Chains A and B, each alone.
Chain A
Amino acid sequence: MGSRSGVSATPVSNAGVSLTKDEILRYSRHLIMPEVGMEGQLKLKQAKVLCIGTGGLGAPLGLYLAAAGVGRIGLVDFDCVDLTNLQRQVLFGTGDVGRPKIEAAADRLRDLNPEIKIDTFEAHLTSENALDILKDYDLVIDGTDNFPTRYLVNDACVLLGKPNVYGSIFRFEGQITIFGYQGGPCYRCLYPEPPPPGLVPSCAEGGVLGVLPGIVGTIQAAEALKLIIGKGEPLTGRLLLFDALAMRFRELKLRKNPACPVCGEHRTITKLIDYAEFCGIRGEEAPAPPTTAPEITPRDLKARLDRGDNLFILDVREPHEYQICNLGGHLIPLGDLSRRAGELDTSREIVAHCRSGKRSAEAVEFLRRAGFRKIWSLKGGILAWSDEVDSTIPKY
C-alpha cells in the first residue's frame, strides 16, 4: 500500500499500514474522535468492501465509503446510466447518461478520494462468478434491486462466511439489517422464499421517492463503517423499518431460523443454485404472462382513428399517470374496473390502454369475461404510441 503523496508519511503504523500527511489531513474529522481515531482509520484503510449495484442504494454507499477512506471498494454493475436514474442515483451527472455505471461511478469515487483503490466488475452477478468476485472482500453490501440477485448475494455470503449489509426500498419505505454477521440470521431466515412474479408489484405501484435510497443507503454505509472499526451496536438480529412518509423508524426482532436451508442446522443448500428458477423467472426478464387479450397495434389504432371510426378509448392507468400524459381516453384504473364496468357500453368498440400494455391486457381479459366482445388492448401501451405514432407524448 504505497502512498501516492510525495510528502513523507508520519509513521503511525498498524501491521505495516500507515497514513500519509495528506491522508491525516483528509481524515482529520475521523481522527480527532476517539470512536474512530488512528486505529479505526487504519482499519478503514485496510478494509475491502464490495458494493453490489451502483444504483439508488449504491450511490450514497459508494460516496460515503470512499469519502471515509475504505481502502478498497469493489463495484458490481452491468447497467448504463439512464436519464430516469438521475432522480436518485446521486453518483451520476447528466453528462454520464449513456455511460456504463461502473465507469462513471469509478471516476466519481476516484475524484472524491484518490487515496483508495476501486475495483470494477462490469457484470451481472451470477451463480458462476459470485463466489469468485466476493471472496476477496471483508464484507458485502447488497444494493441490488431484484429478488434473484438478493438470494444469490445472501447464499454466497453465507457460504463464504461474510457479513451482508442489506437494504431494500419500495416507494417510501425501506428495510435495513445485517445478515450473516457472526453466525446471525440470514435473508432466508427472514424470508424463506421470494414472492412469485405475479405478486410482485407492477409498474402501476412502483416508483420510489428519490431521497429514500439516499437515507437507506447511508444507513447501510454507517453499519458497514461500524463493522469495520468494530464500534457501536451492529444492526444484526434486528430489522429496521423506515417510513419516509410518516418519518418513522421501527425495529423488529430478526431471529435465526433453525430450519433455514442455507444457514440452519440441516442445510440443504451447500452451493449456489439457479436463482432465476428459484424466483420463478425464466430468462432475463420477468415473464410477460401469456395474454389471451386481443391486441391492436398503435399504427392500426391511428389508422382507424384517422378513418373516423367511432372507437371508445379506455385508459386503465392511475389518475396520477393520466396527469403525466394521456390519449384523451376515459379513465378507469384497473383496480376499479370491476366496480365501474357499468360505465362502459358493450355495444361500442373499445380500445383499452395503459403504460406498457400489461394492465390493459388484464383489463381486456376481465371485460371479455364480463361479456364485452368488441374490445382490444393497445399493444405496448402509451410507450409504444409515443414511439410509433406521436413522439410528442412523453414517456415515463
Chain B
Amino acid sequence: MAIKVIIPTPLRAYAGKRESLDVNAATVGEALAALTSQYADLKKHLFADDGRLRSFVNVYVNEEDIRYLQKDQTHVRDGDTISIVPSIAGGAMD
C-alpha cells in the first residue's frame, strides 16, 4: 500500500535531498524501516541507540501524533501521509 512519507528540510540531506517518498507499509514502524533501509544515514537522526524514536522527532499519521495512537504499531492505509517533524530552534544558524 502506498504511504507518502514527508521528509522535513533538516533531514533531507540524509534522504537523497527528497521532499517525500512513497513506501509500502502496513504500520508506521514498517514505513520508517523502509525509509531507513533506503537511506541508512537517516537512522541515527530518527532513532536512539535503543531503537526508540528520538524525543525531538515527532511522527504524525495525517494530523495525529503517533504517541497518542499506537506509536510505531499504528496502522496506515493506502493514501495516508506520514509526517516526520523534528524540533527546529532557529533563528539563523551559524
Contact = CB atoms under 8 A, between A and B. Distances in A.
Most buried by A among B45, B91, B93: B91
A88 B92 contact: yes
A191 B90 CA distance: 15
A146 B87 contact: no
Nearest to B94: A203
30 contacts: A57-B91, A84-B92, A147-B89, A168-B88, A169-B88, A169-B90, A170-B9, A170-B93, A171-B9, A173-B88, A175-B88, A191-B58, A191-B87, A192-B55, A193-B56, A194-B89, A195-B54, A200-B93, A201-B10, A205-B10, A207-B92, A208-B90, A243-B9, A246-B19, A250-B83, A251-B63, A252-B83, A253-B64, A254-B65, A255-B65
Interface string A272-308: 0000000000000000000000000000000000000
A239 B86 CA distance: 12
B8 to A, nearest CB: 7
A38 to B, nearest CB: 38
B91 A173 contact: no
A88 B44 CA distance: 33
A55 B91 contact: yes
A377 interface: no
Interface of B: 8-10, 13, 19, 44-45, 54-56, 58, 60, 63-65, 67-68, 83, 85-94
Most buried by B among A56, A173, A356: A173
B55 A193 contact: yes
A240 to B, nearest CB: 11
B91 A195 contact: no
Given A193-B55, A205-B10, A239-B85, A255 B68 contact: yes
Contacts of B94: 202-203, 206, 356
Interface string A233-260: 0000001010100100011111101000
A361 to B, nearest CB: 15
A183 interface: no
Contact of A252 (B54, B65, B87, B90): B65
The 9 closest A-B pairs by CB, nearest first: A145-B91, A206-B93, A203-B94, A170-B88, A193-B55, A191-B87, A192-B55, A208-B92, A195-B56
Contacts of B10: 170-171, 201, 205
A253 B90 contact: no
B92 A206 contact: yes
A169 B83 CA distance: 17
Interface residues of A, number: 46
A324 interface: no
A150 interface: yes
Contacts of B92: 55-56, 84, 88, 145, 169, 206-208
A281 B55 CA distance: 17
A7 interface: no
A172 interface: yes
B56 A194 contact: yes
Contacts of B45: 199
Nearest to A192: B55
Contacts of A257: 67
Contacts of B9: 170-173, 243
Interface in A141-155: 144-147, 150
A195 B87 contact: yes
Given A191-B56, A208-B92, 10 more contacts: A169-B91, A170-B90, A170-B93, A172-B9, A194-B56, A195-B56, A206-B92, A239-B85, A243-B9, A356-B94
A11 interface: no
Nearest to A246: B19
B12 to A, nearest CB: 9
Most buried by A among B8, B64, B86, B94: B94
Contacts of B87: 147, 190-191, 194-195
Contacts of A319: none
B60 to A, nearest CB: 5
A335 interface: yes
Contacts of B19: 246
Contact of B85 (A56, A146, A252, A255): A252
